[in-house]
Chains A and B, each alone.
Chain A
Amino acid sequence: MKPPMLEIVNLKKVYPTKNGPFTVLEEFNLRVDEGEFVAVIGHSGCGKSTALMMIAGLNDISDGDITVEGRVIQGAGPDRAVVFQSPSLFPWMTTLENVMLGVRRVYPHGTRKQQEDICKYYLNRVGLINALDKKASDLSNGMKQRVGIARAFALKPRVLLLDEPFGMLDSLTRAELQDVLLEVWNKEKITAIMVTHDVDEALYLSDRVVMMTSGPYAKVGDVLEIPFHRPRERSAVMEDPRYYDCRGHLLDFLNGHDKDKLRDNPSPSATSQITVSPQSDTNSTEMALGKI
């Protein structure tokens, strides 16, 4: 039998602190099949980004295993491309050069022309074909993140890791970029894991939403299959009656863990972090729950 694209078994992360070791994650298990889009949602500080960075190989694993296609990962690599929360483009390079840097590593034997064509293909898909020679420092935040998406896809990774990719954008740009991401992804169907704390974003983009319990000792608390067919269209998804069932499910889980958390540890810090996209502001009763 073919091994799953990505398998995480008993993943554990411990940070040493002044007050002794602090366990962020424990017994974190996840299995992702090829071509699946998984969203990981949870409160801020629950360790979801930590888990993603461990999959990327950018953060050390304290215990447990991460395998990609049956092979244990060794450090970071272009087979697990990352779209970072801040676009992390090199401001001294142009749009094209930023994408080229990775493409030249992944296709070292291609001619310069072939490499450039790959970059241009993806930059065209994200709508930046007219900004190839602009310095990255001159781009708006939304455009920078478009380049970030193009750069990740151009690597032809086995797994695409998205770390709150739209967290720094305003809501209009965020919706725009969700559509851009979905459009590119529909063509490529690259196995993707996205960390987010936007409930609507998770519902709109993913096949499965993994809900994490609040840390410390965070783990997978619940998993929800998203029933909408692909290719998806935002308006159709929003009008689907199942949308609000799913949304309610996610919010119940998150708010439930708020209460647990508040009971255990009366600090209100992590409770305000779950956001709900504004496009549903007017017609959602769960909104009030989401904003607590």
Chain B
Amino acid sequence: MATKVINFLSLCGLTWFVPFVKLASGECPKEQLREILSVIGIPVVSVLIFFAFWSFTAAQIKTSLGNLPGPVAVWEASKTLIAEHRDERAKEKAFYQRQEERNAKRLAKDPQAEVRIRKYTGKPTYFDQIGTSLITVFAGFLIATLLALPIGILCGLNKYVMTAFSPLIQIFKPVSPLAWLPIVTMVVSALYTTNDGLFEKSFINSAITVALCSLWATLINTALGVASIDKDYINVARVLRLGNIEKIVKVVIPASLPYIFAGLRISLGVGWMVLIAAEMLAQNPGLGKFVWDEFQNGSSHSLARILVAVFTIGIIGFMLDRIMVVFQKLVSFGQDVATA
């Protein structure tokens, strides 16, 4: 039982908890306590030192929006954001309840009456914005993956294709999202002309920008993974005379999955980083827009709220990375995966 839990924790890269599990299962407590002190104690101390340093320096820096907020102010701001979220949800619930009651009354008076159901149009809360950001980054990541995987596989299989794509990859890889966005915006508004489409334009703009910036890591890693498949595997496929499709599906892709997932992991990280900038400019109602609006707003709480967003972005980015690490480990047949 304990071994299973420990294996699962190491799979997720949550090795901090391993000594606790060992302690709970009754392994030599002295050793486990020392382990806990070193794995958890050191990070806790370093974070505390950081907070102290932050708190001290922040108080010294005066901006036009008041003092730079310290940890306490940020903590308060995050509580306010949660409270605002609760209020907004309560308002929304009340709105629908009122609407329902009104409609029920109207129907009771006259069964033929036209009943209109309106959507609640309150402003999105912080958590709605986080949700939007996540959906946008996954959409962009999906587009990137759908483009990068097939091209990467082709590049890895055939050196002429690789030579053909190489200059494009080299040139477009380092381009900033801020440079792509205006072009994407213009192209999208030219091609996506309906106003009642399934997606908001700002969403499409951000997602495509994320895709354009994040697809390179997957593409390059896939090509590298496919090109460096064990030659024996290819020889076996040749002896068995596997068709191209079967060779790719049964041999090439499984053999290069560890590389592919390493690439996907980098891509998702890049995508999440780029997303904030893209949302700021595209006015996609996610975390990027939140930061921008707070900046424009310029109230005395703005900086604290932006710092909440900074931590949120960091923590979500970290969790996304951990999720990808789990996938990467699952397909790596016992090879080691760097988690740092």
Contact = CB atoms under 8 A, between A and B. Distances in A.
B232 A101 contact: no
B239 A82 contact: yes
Nearest to B232: A88
* Range, interface on chain A: 20 to 34
A105 B240 contact: yes
Contacts of B242: 101, 105
Given A58-B235, A88-B233, A76 B241 contact: yes
B230 A88 contact: yes
A137 interface: yes
Contacts of B167: none
B106 interface: no
Contacts, number: 53
Contacts of B232: 84, 86, 88
Contacts of A58: 235, 238-239
Interface string A80-100: 111010101011100000000
B254 A90 contact: yes
Interface string B240-274: 11100000001100110100000000000000000
B44 interface: no
B251 A82 contact: no
B271 to A, nearest CB: 27
Interface of B: 230, 232-233, 235-236, 238-242, 250-251, 254-255, 257, 333-334
Interface of A: 56-58, 75-78, 80-82, 84, 86, 88, 90-92, 101-102, 105, 137, 155
Nearest 6 Cβ contacts at the A-B interface: A88-B232, A76-B238, A92-B254, A102-B240, A137-B333, A76-B239
30 contacts: A56-B235, A56-B239, A57-B239, A58-B235, A58-B238, A76-B238, A76-B239, A77-B241, A80-B239, A81-B239, A82-B235, A82-B236, A84-B235, A84-B236, A86-B232, A88-B233, A88-B235, A90-B233, A90-B254, A91-B333, A92-B254, A92-B255, A92-B257, A92-B333, A101-B240, A101-B242, A101-B250, A105-B240, A105-B241, A105-B242
Given A90-B233, A102-B240, A105-B242, 16 more contacts: A56-B235, A58-B238, A76-B235, A78-B239, A78-B240, A84-B232, A84-B236, A88-B230, A88-B233, A88-B235, A90-B251, A90-B255, A91-B333, A92-B255, A92-B257, A105-B241
